[in-house]
Amino acid sequence: DIEARVAELLAAQKIVARCTGPVEYGPRALGNRSILYHAADKTVNDWLNKSLRRTEFMPFAPATLRERARDCYRQIDTAAYAAEFMTVCVDCDPEFTARCPAVVHVDGTARPQLVEAHGNPGFHKILREYEARTGIATVINTSFNMHEEPIVCSPDDAIRAFATAELDYLALGPYLVWRRNGERRQCPRSHPRRASSAPAPAPTTTATRSASTSERSWRRRWRSGSWAPPSRRSRARVPS
């Protein structure tokens, strides 16, 4: 159950990149080519942007369960359709601002993605499982790519970006990938990551692989055509 594993890692304050299924098209990453992290760490805008070679003025956006939208954002019903694609800013509820400061702009707004089960069932399940563990229905969702590079498309792209940015985990289709030396490099002391009281779950499922083994496996499947090729794009609706 890769979605439950991802939620467990996010609840343990790990960074999880996700590359699965067809690629979305449009201006935002909507869960299939995304980097996910918990939204309570106010320092993440600095140190994660540095890992991705981005500048600090590039803020992160929240992905939120559609059924919890009214609890998080004001007057969201008038912008709900556009918010499915993370293309509109709305005012945040004060309680949401306090619990998820990493995704709230200095003016008290955010640019949310509202995730519905029929639109992206896997991503929706991750958020449901995460809410069950933390009581929070929102995570950071930023595009899975290094700065000034296109969003990752193939498994090879995903593994290269995952290794370059030194992220914690990569959910690659049904596989969970991590680096051989375990933890990512330490963040700058001025922006320490919050220690988690819950250890990361041990890699015990049959779906887990080391990075080198997973890379070879996915390359074979990609070349044989058994993994969806990049030409099989999802036909996500784009608001006019």
Whole-number mean pLDDT of the chain?
81
Name the least confident of 109-118, 159-168, 186-195: 186-195
pLDDT, tens digit (0-9, with 9 covering 90-100), for 100-141: 999 999 999 999 999 999 999 999 999 999 999 999 999 999
Both tokens of 66, joined, read 């559609």
Q: What is the mean pLDDT of residues 179-201?
A: 46
Band the pLDDT of 157: cuts 50, 70, 90: very high
Q: Distance between CA 43 and CA 31 in Å, rounded?
A: 22
Both tokens of 12, joined, read 């343990």
pLDDT, tens digit (0-9, with 9 covering 90-100), for 10-69: 999 999 999 999 988 888 899 999 999 999 998 888 888 788 887 766 679 999 999 999
Both tokens of 193, joined, read 């990551």
Picking from 166, 129, 138, 217, the residue whose alpha carbon sits closest to that of residue 53 is 166
- Reported pTM: 0.76
pLDDT at 239: 41
Q: What is the mean pLDDT of residues 172-197?
A: 60
Contact 152, 218 (CB under 8 A): no
Task: With a cut of 80, say whether residue 201 has pLDDT above it.
Answer: no
pLDDT at 149: 87
Both tokens of 103, joined, read 């995704």
